[in-house]
Structure 1
Amino acid sequence: MLRPERPRQQASIVLKSGMVSAEIGRLCQYVFSVNGRRLFDGGHMLLNRRTFTAMTAVSVATAAVLPSQVRAAGRSSFKAIAFDGFPIIDPRPVFARVEEIFPGKGAELSALWRTRQFEYGWLRTLGGRYTDFWRVTEDALAFAAKALKIELLAEQRDRLMQTYLELKAWPDVGPALRQLRDAGLRMVFLSNLTAPMLDAAIKNSGLEGLLEPHLSTDRVQAFKPDARAYQMGVDAFGLPKEEIVFAAFAGWDVAGAKWFGYPTFWVNRANAAVEELGVASDGMGSGLNDLVAFATGR
């Protein structure tokens, strides 16, 4: 039996014994730019002609593999959007705060912290030992500091955690959400973050009333990419999967949503490489304006 050809994708993701994702380091390099000032530069974020050409090729390739059923249905058939947290919420202040508290160590600590954040969530889901994302984040921070032999005082830990409750939306979010609302699309967070974390970001950003009640994975006691997490969108909207766009921030979340059956748009703000997981997003862009065009057909 012939194996179906896998979609062409840029680069690859290697999950080693420690489950460390190359995307995590890429993201932490990206988030180390606040107010236009680069706080960390590992040399990977500087675009040259070759990098730009490769990125353009990925965009073209992604458009070329849009599923026929999405093309046939027409984008106007989408009735709702389920958002991961970070297409809307800008996480960069967290990592800037790490550098502020631990000068010269912020990049390394942030990378390991964020890696363990997701690893712990996935392991707890697989092992049936769920705890919420706030606790997972706190545990991951404690591990990262210990592994790097950085003394983490309780006051420093609390200050870093508090930053998660001070986050705001990316600049393009407000106008984009209002365009989507005016187009008749229903919207909701479908996120690993806790409801209080999501509430804080909405309040900090003045986005009250635009999204329906949050779908935190706390409801089903399973982190994405578990199918129980994605199922919340179908249940909450009362719509078939094909009418719900899932807006992902990370490549692994793109894969999880596609495996579940959602039409998926990758808000690839970090210009991350496409994962080698046998699926591709139905659309990809660098911000929410691209999502608006995809979801409304404009």
Structure 2
Amino acid sequence: MTASCVAERGPAAGPKIRAVAFDAFPIFDPRPIAALAEDLCPGKGALLSEAWRTRQFEYTWLRVAAREYADFWQVTADALVFAERALRLDLGEEKRARLLGAYLELDAWPDALPALESLRRAGVRLSFLSNFTPRMLDAAIERSGLGGMFDRVLSTDRARTYKPDPRAYRMALDALGLEREEILFVPFAGWDAAGARWFGYPTFWVNRMGFPAEELGVSADATGASLGDLVEFVKAGAV
């Protein structure tokens, strides 16, 4: 295992991992969205991206708390409008549509396909468990050439909620027919790692951005910078 992996509980200590459930962004690279924002708003792209991303997730959590559901595509569009106004920008319909459309044009990280193939060869079932709508997930899978890699493609839209609501995490249990200890959850964000651990999933945080862990009283079982680190973790004793 690489030096970037930090484990609190080794996989061999519990039941063997039989499936891996991924958030979208460990597989799909979101960086081109930020790059497009900078191209469209020179000098303001980073601020726009940060405000957009922050409000995007705040809206999902507010809507879950208030029980006022809207799907992730709508939330993403609403968050962009807020970010634009907060920064006193005037994107116009064309630029706004291009930024939203970037979510339908995501490519996989270079390490995604080799890692997924390795896990499948090891007999591990693969699933998505994402806040993305089914349309967003299907578009990214098709564009990245990952069709047929996943046993299940689970969008929290089907439960009309968002992570970290336990109802969202439960979807993988119901779909895969496994115990929660047998499903390794793989998030991109620290808050998602905390949510999965609260739910009871063993969790490997693919921390590509090198962020600190959230101060929420729980932490991932292990952390790595790439999907290669994830494969090493799984093969170290979970399968």
TM-score > 0.5, shorter chain as reference: yes
- Equivalent residue letter for 1:164: Y
Q: Residue 73 of structure 1 aligns with which residue? A: 14
1:136 to 66, 75, 80: 75
Q: CA deviation at 1:286?
A: 0.4
Give secondary structure in 2 for the equivalent of 1:164: helix
* Cα offsets for 1:156-178 (capped at 9, x unmatched): 11111111111110000001000
2:141 to 202, 209, 216: 202
Q: Residue 277 of structure 1 aligns with which residue? A: 216
2:84 to 111, 126, 145: 145
Q: RMSD in angstroms over aligned alpha carbons?
A: 1.3
Gaps of 5+ in 2: none
C-alpha separation in 2, matches of 1:223 and 1:165:
19
- Equivalent residue letter for 1:227: P
* Cα offsets for 1:212-269 (capped at 9, x unmatched): 2311011111100000000000001100000000001000000000000000000000
Give secondary structure in 1 for the equivalent of 2:110: coil
- Equivalent residue letter for 2:187: A
Q: Residue 231 of structure 2 aligns with which residue? A: 292
Q: Residue 166 of structure 2 aligns with which residue? A: 227
- Equivalent residue letter for 2:104: L
Q: Residue 253 of structure 1 aligns with which residue? A: 192
C-alpha separation in 1, matches of 2:12 and 2:142:
37
Identity of aligned residues (%): 57
| Contact 2:126–2:152 (8 Å) recurs in 1 | no
C-alpha separation in 1, matches of 2:29 and 2:113:
13
| Contact 2:152–2:175 (8 Å) recurs in 1 | no
Give secondary structure in 2 for the equivalent of 1:209: coil
| Contact 1:194–1:218 (8 Å) recurs in 2 | yes
Q: CA deviation at 1:297?
A: 1.8
Give secondary structure in 1 for the equivalent of 2:186: strand
- Equivalent residue letter for 1:66: R
For normalisation by structure 1, the TM-score amounts to 0.77
> Is residue 2:118 matched to residue 1:175?
no
Higher relative contact order (CA 8 A, sep 6+): 2
- Equivalent residue letter for 1:187: L
- Equivalent residue letter for 1:251: G
Q: Residue 32 of structure 1 aligns with which residue? A: none
How many residue pairs get aligned? The number is 235
What does 1:40-189 align with in structure 2 at a 5 Å threshold? 62-63=6-7, 65-66=8-9, 70-73=11-14, 77-189=16-128
C-alpha separation in 1, matches of 2:83 and 2:148:
37
Q: CA deviation at 1:277?
A: 0.6
